Amino acid sequence: MTESAVASGAEGRAGSGTDLASIVASGCRVLAGKGYEDLTLGHLSARESGGAAIYMKRKGLALGEVERQDVIELDLGGNPVSADVDLVHLEAVIHTEIYRARPDVGAIVHGHPPHATALAATDVDLELLTHDAVLFADGVGWFESSDLITAPSQGVGVAEALGDKRAVLLRNHGVVCVGKDVPWAVLTAITLERSCRLQLVASTLGRLEPIPRDEARRLAPVKYRDGLVQEYWNAWLRQVDSGDAPA
């Protein structure tokens, strides 16, 4: 069975570690075509439902290069189970500390997409301007440090800044997005970057007219639900398989 077939089926929700590693690899390649490619930086991880094993992209590869064998297993302390410690990303604590704090989170993306990273360097909030942005009807978190996140205490700070939200902007640095599984986390990451890009475009055209927050909260579960996320995920996998991944 191909990675795409695995990731598009029921195994995409939980599955064995081997299946989950394949899904993480597919998610990395999807992100690469959606604004998250940044040399060898950025990472995606996932954990099994109710488990302590974390499957994460290894250090040293670009997102678009990741295959199943490039996904390593870590414990909740960030220690590699069967790989060299040098293959673990320096900022793995972002993942481990969020998993500790958020039992509902099954996958995490950290990256430096241009538009969301630019927003993180301003005093401007993410506005609810489009149906994309309603995914963030409850807002996004802000982590007020531009440093690399390499110490557990910093990872705890990111988890606290995230709170119960879907995403946190890291000041002058990048973003962290979460979801209950890989398709949801990838959707959140892609949708955050698109929302920031559209906000930039809208701000050049005239006065911003955001969707009222209560209306956005009503729209969010209609717009974003499991069936639709799976449709998006399957479409992204087809784009990756065909080599055509428009932003």
Average pLDDT value for the chain: 92
| Residue 4 vs residue 48, higher pLDDT | 48
pLDDT band at 15 (very low <50, low <70, confident <90, very high): very low
Tokens for 25, please give them.
């690899």
Distance (Å, whole) CA 185 – CA 167: 9
Q: Which of 79, 23, 82 is nearest to 47 (CA)?
A: 23
> What is the residue type of 238?
R
CB atoms within 10 A of CB 47: 23
- pLDDT at position 9: 41
pLDDT single digits (tens) 133-150 = 999 999 999 999 999 999
| Domains of the chain by start residue, with CATH | 3-238 (3.40.225.10)
pTM: 0.92
Q: Which of 26, 107, 36 is nearest to 71 (CA)?
A: 26
pLDDT band at 247 (very low <50, low <70, confident <90, very high): low
Average pLDDT of the residues in 164-170: 98
Distance (Å, whole) CA 7 – CA 22: 7
- pLDDT at position 32: 98
